[in-house]
Amino acid sequence: MVINCAAVDDEYLALDVIAKYIQKVPFLRLQGTFDSAMSFMAYLKENTVDVLFLDIQMKELTGIQLLKSLSNPPLVIFTTAYDAYAVESYELNVIDYLLKPISFDRFVQAVDKAYNKLLPLRSGYSTAKDIAIGNTAENFFFVKSGTSLERISYDDILYIKGERDYLKVVTHNKSLLVLLKFKYFEDLLPSDQFYRIHKSYMVAMDKIEKIQGNLIYIAAARIPMGNSYRSRFLDAVTKQR
């Protein structure tokens, strides 16, 4: 699911931070940044936005005034240096209230809320219990487990196993169940490092200890190779010698 975003703030540096954070999250698409409420209102005349990162204290029209003026507003995440508007913001049903300076992990939590809000309205997953937020440049991603977001480094992954409606992400020191499809991880993880070797397994190439017959040995696990995946996988192994 792709979420179209925009940011409105009269401070250039604040806009730059939000833009960089958006670019780190694969399913977020930045539609534009705006230095005033009026310029964003003009943009909305011919465009739509799913999620708006909105400053409150701005000249001419505040973020709260802008939100109240919109008949069909997008989901709003306030980004502000002031905590005095928190109560009023929740009365306006905003998704989250981020205090500057905004850290990336706090940004991710807000995005998670927006994702969960939009997901039932979109095609795809029927629930929003678990999501993953990738960050290819930083070599890690966040995965939602229960009520928390767990950070997982690509280098720590041993393998991913299908468990009925869930996937189990297994690392050196933990395993997490997520409500995602293999397709998500096939798109997220580096294709030269992670291989689908069975309808129920994806493995990290550099964690393989031994291949014997149709079995792959990783740590204490013995993982079967599926016939339809065997040829492509063994070709990849051969090329890495």
Q: What is the CATH number of the domain that holds 9?
A: 3.40.50.2300
Q: Has residue 130 got a pLDDT over 70?
A: no
Q: How many domains does the chain contain in total?
A: 2
107 and 177 together in one domain: no
Domain of residue 74, residue span? 3-121
Q: What is the pTM of this model?
A: 0.56
171 and 210 together in one domain: yes
CATH of the domain at 213: 2.40.50.1020
78 and 181 together in one domain: no
- d(CA 19, CA 31) in angstroms, rounded, equals 10
- From the list 37, 49, 31, 30, the residue with the least C-alpha distance to 9 is 37
- d(CA 11, CA 151) in angstroms, rounded, equals 30
10 and 114 together in one domain: yes
Question: Where residue 126 falls among pLDDT bands split at 50, 70, 90?
Answer: very low
- Helix residue ranges, H only, 95-226: 104-118, 182-188
117 and 42 together in one domain: yes
Question: Poorest-confidence range of 121-130, 165-174, 205-214, 221-230?
Answer: 121-130
Residue 127 inside a domain? The answer is: no
